[in-house]
Amino acid sequence: MNLLRDPKRPAACALAIALTCLFGIAAAKAASEIAVGPSGLPLPRFVSLKVDKINVHVGPAKTYEVTWVYTRVGLPVEITAEFENWRRIRDAEGAEGWVYHSLLSGRRTGMVMAKEKDELMPIREAGDLEGTVTAQLQAGVVGTVKKCTGSWCRISGDGFDGWIEQERLWGVYPNEKID
């Protein structure tokens, strides 16, 4: 007897469907802890702002209220959810809102994060503490992420190109490797 198709056993059908879904979800999570959004891309993931003026909405449509406007091309943001062509993003300060997908770029950027307000972060010639310091960057400086080893990232920008400790960048995950 097929419990899923037995009209005389609606409770059994519901239970069978629920168990199938639960076991399917558990198996999928065990197989891979990475969630995938409707776009087919992983969630969450880092991207950057493609243009210099982006309205951030309360919800996933132009009809929702605009809560603020980003005015910085290349700023790294994290996509935390997707709905049709809209992406919910979070910035380094934790602010969240919805933007249209075409305003985002897959180009990886990182923003320098310092422990202390006025601390300068060293950019090194090599990806280790022994590397010669080639630049000192203030918190908030944004650069293109070229490579990450899991503990160091090579970034470049206006007037600098070198390695920074990975934990000092917003725009890459801890231990993430980027080639």
Domain range summary for the chain, segments of one domain joined by +: 1-33, 42-107, 110-170
User: Is 42-107's fold the same as 110-170's?
Assistant: yes
Q: What is the CATH number of domain 42-107?
A: 2.30.30.40
Give the pLDDT band of residue 1 (cuts 50, 70, 90): very low
| Per-residue pLDDT at 2 exceeds 70 | no
The top-level CATH class assigned to 110-170 is mainly beta
Give the pLDDT band of residue 81 (cuts 50, 70, 90): very high
What are the pLDDT digits (tens) for 121-161? 999 999 999 999 999 999 999 999 999 999 999 999 999 99
| Per-residue pLDDT at 20 exceeds 50 | no
Q: How would you write the chain as a 3-class SS string?
A: CCCCCCCCCHHHHHHHHHHHHHHHHHHHHHHCCCEECCCCCEECEEEEECCCCEEEECCCCCCCCEEEEECCCCCEEEEEEEECCEEEEECCCCCEEEEEHHHEECCCEEEECCCCCCCCEEEECCCCCCCCEEEEECCCCEEEEEEECCCEEEEEECCEEEEEEHHHEECCCCCCCEC
- Summarize the confidence of residues 82-106 as an average pLDDT: 98
- Mean pLDDT, all residues of the chain: 85
